[in-house]
Amino acid sequence: MEPLVDTVIEDPRWQGFGLAERADMAAAATLAAMSLPREGFSLCLMGCDDARIAELNGAFRAKGQPTNVLSWPSEERGSEFSGEAPQPPEPGTADDPTELGDIALAWDTCAREALEQGKTMQDHVTHLIVHGLLHLLGYDHEDDDDAELMESTETRILAQLGVADPY
């Protein structure tokens, strides 16, 4: 079976972490929780450092500082109503999957946050992959209703993966 996530490693610290395997596992669980077939979708995840993510954050969000995760949906999928789940995208085929978009994770910020929050790096990164993929699927946290929906969806998916509620 082809990997669901095309993983690009820019910072070698991600190599020994097993980012590709963790990304594929978290993405497959997220799609399954949304009743979407893994064979019909693909996405790209980049493991980078704080300098690279700060550059991307500045270029795309006009915030030139590091962050833990960024995501770029391939198309707008959000709901027009606050607190309402977005319509799921149509799956492609195994040979021509629907591209959901791109996610970037910064090693330095992820490692620092995991330590500060008393979480394992594995659990924190799993949460951030689920979070980023939900953004690709049209979820957001722009207002309280949307944030509540997104957080409860993340918590449900993470529980299925054996990861404690991050909130």
Average pLDDT over the chain reads: 95
Name the CATH superfamily housing domain 5-160. Metalloproteases ("zincins"), catalytic domain (3.40.390.30)
pTM exceeds 0.85, yes or no: yes
Instruction: For 82-123, write each residue's pLDDT tens digit.
Output: 999 999 999 999 899 999 999 999 999 999 999 999 999 999
CA–CA dist 52, 55 (Å, integer): 5
| Domain edges within the chain | 5-160
Annotated binding site for Zn(2+): 131, 135, 141
Q: What is the mean pLDDT of residues 122-141?
A: 97
Position 3 confidence tier, pLDDT thresholds 50, 70, 90: confident
Query: Cα–Cα distance between 117 and 132 in angstroms, integer?
Result: 19
Q: In sequence order, which ranges of 95-160 are alpha helices (DSSP H)?
A: 107-117, 121-136, 144-160
Whether residue 2 has pLDDT greater than 80? no
Asked whether the beta carbons of 139 and 149 are under 8 A apart, the reply is yes
45: left (phi over 0), alpha (psi -120 to 50) or beta: beta
Are 158 and 50 in contact by the 8 Å Cβ rule? The answer is: no
Percent of the chain with pLDDT over 90: 95
**pLDDT grade, residue 1 (50/70/90)?**
low
Task: Give 51-91 pLDDT, tens digit per residue.
Answer: 999 999 999 999 989 999 999 999 999 999 999 999 999 99
Which residues contribute to the annotated binding site?
131, 135, 141
Residue 44 is which amino acid?
Answer: C
Mean of pLDDT values over 3-18: 93
What is the SS3 assignment for 18? coil
What tokens appear for 166 in the block?
């991050």
